[in-house]
Amino acid sequence: MSTAIELREVALDVVFPRAAIPMVLMQPLVEMALDRQPYCWLPAKVVPQCDAVHRTLAIASVQRACFTVFPEYSLPGLEGVRVVHQAVCSDSWHANSVVIAGVDGLGRDTYKTVWDLLRPSDPISGSEPQHVSTYQWVNCCVVWVKEASGSVRAFVQPKLTRAWLEQQVRFGAMRTGQGVYVFRGGYEPDSYPCRFLCLICFDWIGEDGGQSALGRVLAGLNARWQEAGTPNPLHWIFVPQCNDKPCHSLFLTATSEFFLSGNHPFVERRDGVVVHANCASPSRRARVGSFGFSSVVFHPDTFDCTGDRPATVCYAPKRLRQSEILMRCQDVVFREMGPCIHSMRVRVPKYARHDAAGRAPPVDMPSVHPLSPVEDARAPAGPVPASVKWLLDCLDELRSLDDGSAASPLMPAAVTRQQEVIDAWRCLPSDSIESRTLLASCVPDKEEEHKRRSDPDDWATPEEEALATAIHASAIAAVGGAFSPGEGDLHGSGRARDRLFDLAVVCGRSHAGCLDHFRRNRARLPRYPVLLVTRDANNNPVCPRTVRSITDAPEPTQGQPASFTNPQSNVRHVGYRQLFDWFIDGNSPTDIEDKLYEVL
Among 351, 384, 417, residue at a domain's last position = 384
Contact status, residue 599 vs residue 593, Cβ threshold 8 Å: no
Listed residue (385, 342, 332, 390) closest to 366, CA to CA: 342
Among 323, 356, 384, residue at a domain's last position = 384
Segments of 444-527 assigned E as strands: 483-484, 493-496, 499-507
Residue 569: the pLDDT is 64
Residue 288: the pLDDT is 62
Q: What is the spatial distance between Cα 235 and Cα 299, in angstroms, rounded to a whole number?
A: 11
Query: pTM of the prediction?
Result: 0.92
Same structural domain, 328 and 400: no
Same structural domain, 377 and 490: no
Same structural domain, 343 and 484: no
Same structural domain, 462 and 587: yes
Range of the domain at 366: 7-384
Listed residue (424, 410, 253) closest to 329, CA to CA: 253
Question: Is residue 374 assigned to a domain?
Answer: yes
Sequence-ordered list of residues with C-beta below 8 angstroms from that of 573, at least 6 positions apart, any chain: 515, 532, 534, 542, 544, 547
Sheet holding 295-298: strands in order across?
Answer: 6-16, 179-187, 192-198, 236-241, 273-278, 295-298, 330-334, 313-314
Contact status, residue 341 vs residue 26, Cβ threshold 8 Å: yes
Q: What is the spatial distance between Cα 234 and Cα 266, in angstroms, rounded to a whole number?
A: 10
Same structural domain, 380 and 401: no
Question: Is residue 289 assigned to a domain?
Answer: yes
Residue 233: the pLDDT is 97
Question: Is residue 426 assigned to a domain?
Answer: yes
Listed residue (346, 258, 340) closest to 291, CA to CA: 340
Q: What is the spatial distance between Cα 596 and Cα 474, in angstroms, rounded to a whole number?
A: 12
Contact status, residue 75 vs residue 84, Cβ threshold 8 Å: yes
Q: What is the spatial distance between Cα 551 and Cα 72, in angstroms, rounded to a whole number?
A: 59
Same structural domain, 380 and 406: no
Question: Is residue 524 assigned to a domain?
Answer: yes
Q: What is the spatial distance between Cα 426 and Cα 388, in angstroms, rounded to a whole number?
A: 8
Q: What is the spatial distance between Cα 291 and Cα 241, in angstroms, rounded to a whole number?
A: 9
Sequence-ordered list of residues with C-beta below 8 angstroms from that of 559, at least 6 positions apart, any chain: 499
Same structural domain, 71 and 88: yes
Same structural domain, 80 and 123: yes
Residue 547: the pLDDT is 53
10 Å CB burial of residue 241 (0-12, 13-18, 19+) is buried
Same structural domain, 355 and 410: no
Question: Is residue 561 assigned to a domain?
Answer: no
Same structural domain, 520 and 445: yes
Q: Compute φ and ψ for 176, nearest 5 degrees.
A: -85, 150
Question: Is residue 559 assigned to a domain?
Answer: no
Contact status, residue 417 vs residue 479, Cβ threshold 8 Å: yes
Sequence-ordered list of residues with C-beta below 8 angstroms from that of 208, at least 6 positions apart, any chain: 2, 3, 161, 216
Q: What is the spatial distance between Cα 110 and Cα 116, in angstroms, rounded to a whole number?
A: 10
Q: Compute φ and ψ for 464, nearest 5 degrees.
A: -65, -40
Question: Is residue 2 assigned to a domain?
Answer: no
User: At 323, is the secondary structure helix, strand, or coil?
Assistant: coil
Among 330, 365, 384, residue at a domain's last position = 384
102-111 pLDDT per residue, tens: 999 999 999 9
Question: Is residue 471 assigned to a domain?
Answer: yes
Contact status, residue 339 vs residue 480, Cβ threshold 8 Å: no
Total number of domains in the chain: 2
Sequence-ordered list of residues with C-beta below 8 angstroms from that of 577, at least 6 positions apart, any chain: 535, 539, 540, 541, 542
Same structural domain, 420 and 535: yes
Q: What is the spatial distance between Cα 575 and Cα 502, in angstroms, rounded to a whole number?
A: 16
108 DSSP 8-state letter = H
CATH code, 160: 3.60.110.10
The parts of the chain modelled with pLDDT lower than 50 are 549-551, 553-555, 562, 564-565
Same structural domain, 375 and 405: no
